[in-house]
Amino acid sequence: MMSVYEYALDVDKTPEEILKLAISLGFDVKDMDDLLDDYMITELDSAIASGNNLEEVIEEEIAELEENISKEEQIKEKHKVSNPAKKKPFNNKKDLANRKKEMYKNKTKLQSNAPINNDNVVLYREGMTIGEFANSLNVGAAEVIKKLFMLGIMANINNTISLENAELICLDYNKELKREETTDVTNFEEYEVIDDPKDLVKRPPVVTIMGHVDHGKTTLLDTIRKTNVVSTEAGGITQAISAYQVVYNNEPITFIDTPGHAAFTEMRARGAQITDIVIIIVAADDGVMPQTKEAVDHAKAAGVPIIVAINKMDKPGANPDRIMADLSEMGLTPEEWGGDTLYNKIIAQTGEGINELLENILLVAEMQEYKANPNRYAMGTVIEARLDKHLGPVTTVLIGNGTLRLGDPIVIGTAYGKVRTMRNDKGEEIMEAKPSLPVEITGINDVPTAGDKFMAFETEKEARSIGEARKTQARLKENASAGIVTLDALFNKIQEGIKEINVIVKADVNGSSEAVKNALEKIEVEGVRVKVIRSSVGAITESDIVLAKASNAIIIGFNIRPNNTIKERAKEAGVEIRPYNIIYKAVEEMEQAMKGMLDPVYEEKVIGEAEVRQLFKFSKVGIIAGSYVTDGIIKSNAKARLIRSGVVVYDGNIGSLQREKDAVKEVKKGLECGITIENFADIKVGDTIEAYEMVEVKQ
Ligand code: GDP
C-alpha cells in the first residue's frame, strides 16, 4: 500500500495526474493521501504503460464514465432545458426606424441574422478556461470545479474545459450551451436563423437556361425579357444586369444568365443554390449535343426540376421526336410518353411557344411551393461582380431570403460594407429588394466572386467584424508549400521542365481581362505555354495572392494597382505582381521570360505614395492636391499615377510639387505637400498618387 504521492513519485508523474487516472479507472480515491492497494497499482501501471500519453488514457476513461451516465436522464434534462429557449421567438425588437432614420418610418422590423444570444444561452469557446466558463455561466469557479470533480475530473481554475463537460454542467444549471464559432466564420450557416413556417410566403421561381452553344439560349432570354418586361422609361428596356425578372399572368419569374455549365457547378460546389428550375434548350434541327448532355448532368446534379425547350421549330430539319427519344435515354421522358418531364416546342426568335413555356415554369413553381421569409435581413448569392472606376465594387446579387434595404450593413464573401445604392434589372434605383429579386448594389469594400454568399446584418459593427474575420481566415488558408515565382525566375523553372506557366489576370474592365487572357494564352515558346488560372475584374485581392501562391502563379494587373496591404501580402507570399497598361507589353515580357531572354530593361520603380486629403483650386495652375506622403518619397520630376479604389485613373507625370508656397524637388514620407499632375485635373479627396521612376534593372 502506498499513497498517491508516493506512487506518483515512483512513476514520474504528478500526483494530480495519478489522482485523475485513478478516479477515471473507477477507484474510490479522493485525495493525495488516500492509499493505493496492489490491485489499484497494477491497474494504474498497465494504464500508464498502455497509453503513451497519460492525458489520452484519462480522457478515454472519462469518456466511458460519461457514457455510463444514464442516457435517459440526459435526454429528459435536455428537453427540459431547450424547450423554453426554443419557444422564445427570435425577433429583434430594436427599432429599425432609429437605424435608418425617416427612410423606413412605416416599414416593419426585420429579424436579425445574428446568432442567438439570450440569458439562457452560454457561449462556449474552444480552449476556454474553467474560470472563463464559470464567468459566462455566471457562477463561481469553485462551483464548476466541484461539478467537474463529481464527473471524475480534477481541475483548477486555469485548466481548459472540454465542450462535453461544459455541456453537462450547463444541463445542471438549466442553460443551453452554444458553441461560439471561432474556427469557421466563412460559414454563414452559423448565423442562419431557421424561419418559422408561418413567416414564409411565396417567392418567385429562379430559372436558369442551359444548353449547347448556338441552340438559342441568348435569343430565348432576350425574347422573354422583351415581351414580358414593362418598360417604365422612354427609350425601351435596357437590361442593366445579367439577371432579370418578368411578370407573366401576374406572377413574377426571375431569369439568371449563368456564365456557363462549369461556372454553374462551381458556384453550386461552393454552396450557392442559385436556381430553382433549369431549362434545357435544344435546337430542333441540331439535336442533343455534347453540351446538352453536360447541361443535363449539371442540372441533375443540382437536383432541381428540368423543363426542356425544343427550339428552332421553324427550321426545315426540325426533328423534335429524336430529341425526346435521346433525352428520354437520359431520364427525361416527356409527359406525353408517360414520363414526368415537361417539354415545350418553341421558336425563340419569334416568341412562338414561349407563353406555354412560362406557364410550365409557373406550374412547376406552384408544385414546388418556393417560399421565403421577407421579414428578416437578407441573404443570398453573388451572380456577378465588377470594379467600377467611379462607383468602386459593383455587385449583382440574388436575394435568396429576407429583404435587402438601402443602408443595410452587409458581408459578401470576404468583403463588407453598407448598401449604398441599389438598382433593379431595369437600372432603376430601389429602396428594398424582396426574395428572388436580382439587384445591383454598391457600397462594399472589395470585389467578391460569383457564387459568394452574402448576408445582411443589423449593425455595421457586426458586418465589419465578420467581414474582417473572414478575410483573416482566407489569408490563413494560404499554403506555405509554393516557392517563389517571378518572371525572372521563370526561365529556371522552364529548364526544370515546367510546361505551363500559371497566370492570374486582374483587370479594370471585363473586355481587357478577356483580351489579356486570350493574348497570353496564344503565346507558345518551345512547348511551354501560359495558362490563365483566373481572369477577373477588380482590384487584386488577398484571395488572388492565396491562389497565386498555391499554384505558383504570377499575377498580372492590367490597369490595376495593388494597395499597400496587398503588396505586403504578395511580398510575404513570394508572389510577383506585374502591372501593365498595354497588352503587347505584357505579351512581350512574358514571351521573353519564356525564352529566357529577359534582357535588362527599364523597369518602373515606385518611389513613393501620397494620399490626397484636400483640394485647392487655382485659376492659373488648376487643381492642387493637398496631399500627405504616406510612403517613400515624391519627386517633382517623377512619373505619377492617380489611383482611385485600386483602379488607375490616370498615368502621367508630376506637374509640380510644393511645400507651403515654395516649389520643392522632393517631399519625404510623413510630410504634407501640394501636388499637381500634368494635364490632369480630375483629382478627388481619398485618391492615391503613386510616384515612380523608370530605372534600369540589372539581370
Ligand atoms: P446561344 O449560343 O445558345 O446563346 O444561341 P443564340 O441565342 O446566340 O442563337 C444562335 C443562333 O440561332 C442565332 O443566330 C439566333 O438568331 C438563332 N436562333 C435562335 N433561336 C432561333 C429560332 O427559334 N429559330 C431560328 N431559325 N433561329 C434561331
Task: Cite the beta strand spans of 155-312 per DSSP E.
Answer: 176-179, 201-202, 206-211, 243-248, 251-256, 277-283, 306-311
* Pocket flag, ligand 1, residue 215 (CB < 6 Å): yes
Select the more confidently predicted residue: 193 or 32: 32
Q: Residues with Cβ < 8 Å from 228, sequence gap 6 or more? A: 246, 247, 248, 358
* Pocket flag, ligand 1, residue 312 (CB < 6 Å): yes
Distance 313 CA to ligand 1 centre (A): 11
From residue 495, alpha-carbon distances to 487, 490, 492, 600 in Å are 14, 9, 5, 20
Distance 216 CA to ligand 1 centre (A): 4
Which of 667, 578, 677, 664 lies closest to 630 in space, CA to CA? 667
At 121 the pLDDT is 80
Best mean pLDDT range from 354-363, 468-477, 518-527, 655-664: 354-363
The region of weakest confidence among 608-612, 629-633, 648-652 is 648-652
- CB of 76 within 8 A of CB of 66? no
- CB of 345 within 8 A of CB of 320? yes
Shortest-distance Cα residue to atom 14 of ligand 1: 214
> Where does residue 234 rank: exposed (0-12), middle (13-18), buried (19+ CB within 10 A)?
exposed
Helix (H) or strand (E) holding 56: helix 54-68
* Pocket flag, ligand 1, residue 291 (CB < 6 Å): no
* Pocket flag, ligand 1, residue 347 (CB < 6 Å): yes
Mean pLDDT of the chain: 79
Residue 608 — pLDDT band, cuts 50, 70, 90?
Answer: very high
Distance 400 CA to ligand 1 centre (A): 31
Distance 537 CA to ligand 1 centre (A): 29
* Pocket flag, ligand 1, residue 324 (CB < 6 Å): no
| Pocket residue to mutate for ligand 1, from 214, 289, 291, most atoms within 8 A of Cβ | 214
Distance CA 499, CA 284 (A): 42
Distance 213 CA to ligand 1 centre (A): 9
Strand partners, 279: 209, 307
Distance 237 CA to ligand 1 centre (A): 21
3-state secondary structure of 54: helix
- Count Cβ atoms below 10 Å from residue 262 Cβ, excluding itself: 11
Report the atom number in ligand 1 closest to the C-alpha of 222: 7
Report the atom number in ligand 1 closest to the C-alpha of 215: 3
Is the confidence at residue 103, as pLDDT, over 90?
no
Distance 241 CA to ligand 1 centre (A): 21
C-alpha cell at 659: 511645400
Report the atom number in ligand 1 closest to the C-alpha of 219: 7
- CB of 557 within 8 A of CB of 577? yes
* Pocket flag, ligand 1, residue 284 (CB < 6 Å): no
* Pocket flag, ligand 1, residue 292 (CB < 6 Å): no
Shortest-distance Cα residue to atom 24 of ligand 1: 312
Q: What is the dihedral of CA 648, 651, 654, 660, to 10 degrees?
A: -20
DSSP symbol at 591: H
Helix (H) or strand (E) holding 1: none
* Pocket flag, ligand 1, residue 345 (CB < 6 Å): no
Is the confidence at residue 333, as pLDDT, over 80?
yes
Distance 214 CA to ligand 1 centre (A): 6
Distance 212 CA to ligand 1 centre (A): 11
Mean pLDDT score, 352-356: 96
Distance CA 446, CA 385 (A): 10
* Pocket flag, ligand 1, residue 349 (CB < 6 Å): yes
**CA 530 from chain center: how many Å?**
27
The structure's pTM equals 0.52
Distance CA 477, CA 493 (A): 25
Residue 15 — pLDDT band, cuts 50, 70, 90?
Answer: confident
The region of weakest confidence among 3-12, 187-196, 389-398, 615-624 is 187-196
Distance 655 CA to ligand 1 centre (A): 54
Is the confidence at residue 474, as pLDDT, over 70?
no
Residue 22 — pLDDT band, cuts 50, 70, 90?
Answer: confident
- CB of 88 within 8 A of CB of 119? no
| Pocket residue to mutate for ligand 1, from 218, 219, 255, most atoms within 8 A of Cβ | 219
- CB of 284 within 8 A of CB of 312? yes
- CB of 632 within 8 A of CB of 671? no
Distance 358 CA to ligand 1 centre (A): 19
pLDDT in tens, 209-255: 998 889 999 899 999 988 876 554 433 445 556 789 999 999 999 99
Distance 633 CA to ligand 1 centre (A): 58
The region of weakest confidence among 36-45, 350-359, 486-495, 507-516 is 486-495
Mean pLDDT score, 569-589: 87
Report the atom number in ligand 1 closest to the C-alpha of 311: 23
Distance 353 CA to ligand 1 centre (A): 15
pLDDT in tens, 261-302: 666 666 666 666 788 999 999 999 999 998 888 888 888 877
3-state secondary structure of 306: strand
* Pocket flag, ligand 1, residue 297 (CB < 6 Å): no
| SS3 track for 29-47 | CCCCCCEECHHHHHHHHHH
At 93 the pLDDT is 31
* Pocket flag, ligand 1, residue 280 (CB < 6 Å): no
Which of 630, 633, 606 lies closest to 687 in space, CA to CA? 630
